[in-house]
Amino acid sequence: MKTYALFASFFFLSGCLLTHKEVMEDMKLSPSDPAQEPALMEKKDSKKTLSVKKGDVFIKGVSVTEKFSLIDDSIRELRGQIEIANKTQKARMDQTEQGLLALIQALELQVAALSNKVEKIERKKESKSEKELPENFFEKAEKLFKEKNWKAAIINYEKYREKNKKGDYYKKSTFQIGVCFQNLGMSKEAKVFFREIVESFPNSVEAKEAKKRLSVKTKKPKKK
């Protein structure tokens, strides 16, 4: 029994001495010593393997190489985010550009429609102005005169005179108005226009005819 107890005590002490030796080795490795720090880290965490280069520098237990690696990872991640953001922004810009192009096309269609309307209005104005030319009034008056529509003829002759006081048909229009009034039995009104012809255009053919008509005396109806 004594022999067995001594053997057990020796085995226990040997284990304690081995453990104490390991502890002393750990204490000899100073964390502040950059050359010994990798060995200390590898001993403390055997599961974690660090790719440490010779002469590497450690900051708070982490090697500079590892820090650079982490920074590179962060940079790659940021670049990926930037690329995604650029793609998103480009997609939005493309969508905005398409919207603007559609708006421009719609505005161009509106401009074209307005241009057509303006063109139609201008054509109507031109056609209307053509209808209201002084010559047109004179031609219409001549037609009405031949039809013996004296009142309508007077109106159109007068419109020609108002719009074209120096026109080629001004003298004839004035004379014709006098004739129309004469045919309506309105001799006083007729004489006003005949006298205007004689005074304003004394050497004209219309003035000679006007003098003849002025010299003609209207017969008064006989009293019974």
The position carrying tokens 């284990």 is 15
Length of the chain: 224
Q: What is the reported pLDDT for 208?
A: 92
3-state secondary structure of 64: helix
Q: What is the reported pLDDT for 8?
A: 45
Q: What is the reported pLDDT for 196?
A: 94
Three-state SS across 204-215? Answer: CHHHHHHHHHHH
Residues 6+ apart with CB under 8 A from 51: 65
Backbone angles phi, psi at 217, to 5 degrees: -90, 135
For residue 174, give both structure tokens: 């004035």
For residue 153, give both structure tokens: 């003829």
- Count of C-beta atoms within a 10 Å radius of residue 29: 16
For residue 150, give both structure tokens: 């004296």
- CA nearest 193: which of 167, 156, 154? 154
> Residue 197 class from Cβ within 10 Å (0-12 exposed, 13-18 middle, 19+ buried)?
buried
Q: What is the reported pLDDT for 223?
A: 47
Q: What is the reported pLDDT for 47?
A: 40
- CA nearest 192: which of 201, 202, 184, 182? 182
State how far the Cα of 188 lies from the Cα of 163, in Å rounded to an integer. Answer: 25
> Is the pTM above the cut of 0.85?
no
Which segments in the chain show pLDDT lower than 50?
2-33, 36-37, 40, 42-50, 219-224
Q: What is the reported pLDDT for 15?
A: 44
- Compute the CA torsion angle 135, 139, 145, 146 (nearest 10 deg): 160
Q: HSE, CB side, 13 Å, CA atoms: give it for residue 114.
A: 6
Alpha helices (H) along 132-222: 134-146, 150-163, 170-183, 187-200, 205-215
